[in-house]
């Protein structure tokens, strides 16, 4: 793991060297700012600054509105080039003829995207500070679990989208596969739940129902170990599949 940090730093550096990163940052901050304003306004309607239910504002802010769009769209744009572009440009040869292990490369790609993603979300912490400055007492549990849920969910999608980037050398294919998967993850369980009346199927749908995990639990300050296991195992699965795909070149 000697090279992990070197590789991760290179990944992060690559984000900031591409114009795409700045477009993402701009759109993210713009829409999150707008969402925050909307929630704050809604809170104010209910009883002025003193009367704001901070938990509700932050909970809504961290679990509703534009959040879902960013949760679905950020991981694909952060990962679609990760391995696909290395392959199409041939840089993968430079990478793997240097003394680095496959697992270091995969983890660095994952961490690079996850760190960028986390920085983006944690930057919304200024809104929390704003609320405190306005004299309100936020519920720290809600804030912490809200962010935890968002980062875990992002980590899961980043790991799986990284896999899609590893199966192709075409960045567009990687992006489309990732988008379809993420939209499916967010909407499919609700659809299954709606379409079936079978109790067993409904149970499974509920377990993989990520929207509920975030909206009902994480954004309300509840950390359920089942969800942690769900995210954790999905992250491991994504990374494992990516690693195996990267290793395939050795067996062809």
Partner 1 sequence: MIEALGLTKKYGSMTAVDQISFEIDAREVVGFLGPNGAGKTTTMKMLSCFMPATSGSAKVAGYDVVRESLKVRQNIGYLPENVPLPHEMKVEEYLQYRARLKGISRADRKTRLSEAMDRCGVAHVRKKAIGALSKGYRQRVGLADALVANPPILILDEPTEGLDPEQILQVRGLIQELGRDHTILLSTHILPEVEKICQRVIVISSGTIRAMDTLTNLKKGSGVLVEIQGETEAAVAEALTNVDGVTDLKVVPSEGEEGSRYFLHTEKSQAVREQVYRLAVSKAWVLLGLSDESRRLEDIYIEIVTADRTLAPTAVTDLLSPGSEGASSHA
- Chain residues binding partner 1 by CB under 8 A are 2-3, 6-7, 9-10, 13-14, 17-18, 89-91, 93-94, 96-101, 249-252
CB of 171 to partner 1, least distance (A): 15
CA distances from 199 to 161, 187, 193, 195, 206 (A): 31, 19, 9, 12, 10
Burial class of residue 64, CB neighbours in 10 A (0-12, 13-18, 19+): middle
CB of 17 or CB of 199, closer to partner 1: 17
Burial call 218-242: b when 16+ CB within 10 Å, e when fewer: bbbbeeeeebeebbeebbeebbebb
Contact 12, 112 (CB under 8 A): yes
CB of 221 to partner 1, least distance (A): 42
CB of 228 to partner 1, least distance (A): 34
179 phi and psi angles, rounded to 5 deg: -65, -45
CB of 22 to partner 1, least distance (A): 13
CA angle 30-45-132, nearest 5°? 60
CB of 119 or CB of 248, closer to partner 1: 248
CB of 16 to partner 1, least distance (A): 10
At 252, list the tokens.
């062809």
CB of 101 or CB of 118, closer to partner 1: 101
CB of 38 or CB of 101, closer to partner 1: 101
CB of 6 or CB of 196, closer to partner 1: 6
């Amino acid at each position: 793991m000697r090279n992990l940090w070197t590789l991760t730093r290179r990944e992060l550096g690559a984000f900031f060297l591409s114009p795409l990163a700045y477009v993402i940052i701009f759109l993210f901050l713009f829409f999150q700012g707008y969402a925050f304003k909307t929630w704050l306004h809604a809170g104010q309607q209910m009883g002025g600054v003193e009367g704001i239910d901070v938990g509700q504002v932050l909970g809504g802010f961290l679990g509703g509105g534009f959040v879902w769009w960013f949760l679905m769209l950020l991981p694909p744009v952060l990962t679609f080039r990760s391995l696909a572009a290395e392959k199409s440009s041939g840089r993968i040869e430079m990478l793997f003829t240097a003394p680095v292990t496959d697992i270091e490369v995969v983890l660095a790609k994952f961490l690079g995207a996850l760190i960028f993603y986390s920085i983006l979300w944690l930057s919304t912490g200024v809104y929390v500070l704003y609320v405190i400055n306005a004299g309100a007492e936020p519920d720290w549990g809600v804030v912490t679990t809200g962010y935890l849920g968002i980062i875990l969910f992002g980590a899961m999608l980043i790991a799986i989208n990284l896999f899609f980037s590893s199966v192709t050398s075409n960045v567009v294919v990687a992006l489309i596969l990732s988008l379809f998967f993420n939209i499916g993850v967010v909407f499919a369980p609700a659809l299954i739940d709606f379409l079936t009346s079978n109790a067993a199927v409904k149970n499974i749908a509920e377990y993989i129902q990520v929207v509920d995990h975030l909206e009902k639990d994480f954004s309300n300050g509840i950390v359920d170990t089942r969800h942690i296991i769900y995210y954790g195992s999905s992250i491991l699965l994504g990374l494992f599949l990516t690693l195996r795909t990267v290793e395939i070149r050795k067996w062809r």
